[in-house]
Amino acid sequence: MAKKPVRFHLNGSEKAVFVEDGQNLLDMLRRGIGDLTPKYGCGQGTCGTCTVLIDGEPHLSCLTLAETVEGRQLTTTAGLASGNRLHALQAAFMEGFAAQCGYCTPGMLMAAKALLDRNPNPSRQEVVEAISGNICRCTGYEPIINAILEAAKSGDARHYG
């Protein structure tokens, strides 16, 4: 199979990899680069746990062709914390018990980050809409919604990451 070179930024650092024809971004990140933070849930765009940011917009990496990220800025959950300092969303998820099995968590964090980056003071309804493409089987969503609102309130959700 033909391989294509692709160059992009992942969490601020430059990456250059070869991708196969038709390879999806989730597979490239996990298998090609070893960033295991985006999860594989369904592979068909219905669970949201593979969500990553491309130029700040949330995308389902399982449905994104890897070669289309040429020249773009990618952010995954691995890029949220700065050193030991957790991103405000991560801290709020931890404080608010917003994860049980944790399988949906990376996707929830990325969907929430995209929201807070463009709207630092969202309403509850806006939070619900932002995560409505993400399935959680454990928490009943309530702690996740509350954690995102808490992170927004803490005001430093935009300071880094």
Partner 1 sequence: MALHRGRGFASINYPIGMNLGGDPSQALVHSNPGGKFMVALSSIDLGQGMKSVTRQIAAETLGVPVEDVYVDTADSDTGPHCMGSFASRGTHRVGNAVIQAALEARSVMLEAAAEELEVDPADLVTDGKGNIHVKGAPSKSITTAEACGAAQFKQGRTVSGRGIFLIPLSEVDPETGEMTPVSCFAHAALIVDVDVDDETGEIDVVQMNSAYELGRALNPRLVEQQLIGGAWMGMSHAAWETTEPYYPERSHGPLDFNEYLMPGPGDIAPHDIAILERPAPDGPFGGKGPGEMCANPVLPAMVNAVFNAVGVRIDELPITPEKILRGIRANGGARPPARRN
Can you tell me the distance from the alpha carbon of 111 to that of 61, in angstroms, rounded to the nearest whole number? Answer: 12
Q: Is 80 in the site for ligand FES (CB under 6 A)?
A: no
Dihedral sign from CA coordinates of 135, 151, 112, 89: negative
> Site for ligand FES (CB under 6 A): which residue of 15, 36, 43, 68?
43
Segment near ligand FES (CB under 6 A); pick from 81-89, 93-101, 113-121, 147-155: 93-101
> Site for partner 1 (CB under 8 A): which residue of 129, 155, 156, 160?
129
Can you tell me the distance from the alpha carbon of 27 to that of 40, in angstroms, rounded to the nearest whole number? Answer: 9
Residue 19 gets which letter from DSSP?
E
Q: Is 42 in the site for partner 1 (CB under 8 A)?
A: yes
**Residues 139-158 close enough to bind partner 1 by CB under 8 A:** 139-145
